[in-house]
Structure 1
């Protein structure tokens, strides 16, 4: 009986050692480098050793594999033959089970060892490693590094064989571990969920990523909405425009918006009014700053760089044919980055997306697609560059023509209804979630 107890003890010890190797491998490979560096800077030698192992994963993984393979060989040698034989002897006492005694004994032993191997040698250690990878990696790194040095000749042989096989397969043995945007997003999300990042910080980081994917066409004020003054505008007309106080930066054109003269600051015009200086076309042209022209396909961050280098706060956006597509300002970029903030024209209009009492949304047709997607948790762009930037453009693209008030369609579990048109432009859209094939709220009465 003592022999069986010894055999059981040896098998359990081997399974525990297998679990240590499995836990070590997962802990070192999943530990966050930044946290290990912080522990190392605080004087944790184990964290420093873990960083060394993570820096040379081939040598470390080879050491782990040597240990696991050796344990497997030893487990095979102590495969429970004595235990199986003892069980078989017990089954032979039964006339019914006697013919199957050896098979039953072996099956029970193999099943028990397999079960314990999975639980003790794999699943539990790996779950433990995932709970605190940095702490566990710091604890086991130094013993693993010492073991790596002991078996280094065998590890070098395995490493050389691995690199040779990779070269034969055309795979680079050493590749740069570049961090992807998706990985950073995942870390930020985890930081927000764990409370490391505040909600506002999380939103700003997400907006930075979103801004990096946007083009000028998604930020600009489109041509039909551009406010401009004619260089030939008389003094009375200029004073009336200044009295409205809608813009701090005015676009000056000659006869139409395609003939841009430049931008003039409202404060410069006000200064001339105060001093009694002339407000004629010559004064406007002398005050106007030569405009910066940018293509509507320019990425948002390149726009910021262009505005900084040109020392300007606004730019004229051109379409692919050279015509004026709109105007983009530094405020447009900042609003997309940090969210809504008081506008120069805030008193003239309300929010672009309004949640109604019945649970539906009333959305301005000029609302950017990204804002609608964020508010409703819905995907409106069917492709990376869909050809439209606003919810009004999305409605036109879905219908394939100019919409009419009260026209409706469904998209991604939502019911869309055109509430109002402003000439050829979608002025307002109502959106409601669809449940059981029907919108959650009744249709609206079209606005005139």
Structure 2
């Protein structure tokens, strides 16, 4: 280097610092990319995304290439800086050159380019991928040799060096992605996506119509009473049973009964029973995502839930599961949450004892426990371990609750205060 002028050495040093900054920024930009957005852009034909995706298919080789280039440049820059220091300041210049070069590389070849690459990873990566692709082809023998030695050393440490070609997300990670989407996904759509993910954590017991609320017709009743119930039923299907709900005999479609009514000679108990469909039974505790697939596979829309002893404990429809995803339908015959919860002027709420705890939590953004009883009545009874009296005040799950009305050993109406009112 003695034959090279000082000015040219300074120019070469400046160029090396720029190249070092390029390698540093490229590495950070590549590693900061959103892999799922990259896949999307690649599938839509974006050339830069395709180049980057190809490079990231072997991240060990990409990092090896960048570090080879970066270290060669930095070592050469250090040698040139040493020569310049000796020329300008003698032996003391080595220390001066080391200090100045360290600061310059830190600011201009590390922190600044890496910060810019973090802020604009796509712009940096797509542009730098042109040069990196060319360098990968040019230096591939050296890169492969370095990676062979590195992977061998990693194996000696007991670590398995493998390349996972697929990126997978767990349901919880996917939930976080949806929640962090912000304005990219409308809030309504985010809620629906989260509800779909929640289906595996919710069972048919959580949303079923309980046994005592199932609308059915006792086939042993007087014939006029049966006809009256059929003509006034608000449902599309009704359960037919003998004397008690556990002795079900079929599921009747109301439109089929109307057809039989038009054929007066055919409208009897016997023809009514023959026209009824077989009952579709569902084991208790079945997750909603599983049950929705079973409904689809068996071409069913409604089923009765049975416990381990075969006793009927509730009823569920396909519409109930869909409502868990998209919200309540205006045509639903189930009571709306607004019918069960009445806001009061003092900030409290009058809530029906039969209201589902999950629905209360969703509607009021509360956190009442859902790992036990499914209704507010059940929650309070479990807490008290006794049948309470009217106007009894209790503190349950950090909520002050006052029992307003009882009916047949069941809590009918409760006045509930939110947490902040008594915090």
Output the TM-score relative to the length of structure 2: 0.82
The match for 2:403 is 419
The match for 1:323 is 311
Q: 1:85 to 1:232 in 2, by over 3 A?
A: farther
Structure 2 contact 219–242 (Cα < 8 Å) conserved: yes
Instruction: Compute the displacement of 1:280 (Å).
Output: 4.8
Structure 2 contact 204–287 (Cα < 8 Å) conserved: yes
The match for 2:209 is 221
Instruction: Compute the displacement of 1:339 (Å).
Output: 0.1
1:189 maps to which of 154, 174, 179 = 179
Instruction: Compute the displacement of 1:354 (Å).
Output: 4.5
Q: Equivalent residues in 2 for 1:235-246 (5 A)?
A: 235-246=223-234
2:322 maps to which of 330, 334, 342 = 334
* Residues 1:179 and 2:169 are matched in the alignment: yes
The match for 2:374 is 389
The match for 2:394 is 408
2:65 maps to which of 63, 76, 88 = 63
Question: Quick one: distance in 1 between partners of 2:25 and 2:268?
Answer: 80
Structure 2 contact 403–415 (Cα < 8 Å) conserved: yes
Instruction: Compute the displacement of 1:298 (Å).
Output: 1.4
The match for 1:154 is 142
* Residues 1:206 and 2:173 are matched in the alignment: no
1:73 maps to which of 60, 75, 89 = 75
Deviation readout 1:147-166 (Å, 9 max, x if unpaired): 22333223212322343344
Question: Quick one: distance in 2 between partners of 1:344 and 1:236?
Answer: 28
Structure 1 contact 388–394 (Cα < 8 Å) conserved: yes
Instruction: Compute the displacement of 1:328 (Å).
Output: 0.6
The match for 2:53 is 51
Give 3-state SS (helix, strand or coil) of 1:341's partner: coil
Structure 2 contact 238–254 (Cα < 8 Å) conserved: yes
Instruction: Compute the displacement of 1:361 (Å).
Output: 4.0
* Residues 1:254 and 2:242 are matched in the alignment: yes
Deviation readout 1:46-95 (Å, 9 max, x if unpaired): 22211101222121122122233334434554667976998999xxxxxx
Question: Quick one: distance in 2 between partners of 1:202 and 1:349?
Answer: 21
Structure 1 contact 163–173 (Cα < 8 Å) conserved: no
Structure 1: where are the runs of 5+ without partners?
A: 90-101, 441-448
Question: Quick one: distance in 2 between partners of 1:354 and 1:134?
Answer: 52
Question: Quick one: distance in 2 between partners of 1:231 and 1:427?
Answer: 30
Question: Quick one: distance in 2 between partners of 1:247 and 1:205?
Answer: 29
Give 3-state SS (helix, strand or coil) of 2:339's partner: coil
Instruction: Compute the displacement of 1:347 (Å).
Output: 8.0
Structure 2: where are the runs of 5+ without partners?
A: none
Q: Equivalent residues in 2 for 1:359-398 (5 A)?
A: 359-381=347-369, 386-398=371-383
* Residues 1:298 and 2:268 are matched in the alignment: no
Question: Quick one: distance in 1 between partners of 2:279 and 2:135?
Answer: 68
Give 3-state SS (helix, strand or coil) of 1:351's partner: helix
Deviation readout 1:383-433 (Å, 9 max, x if unpaired): xxx24434444445555555655433253xx52414344444444444444
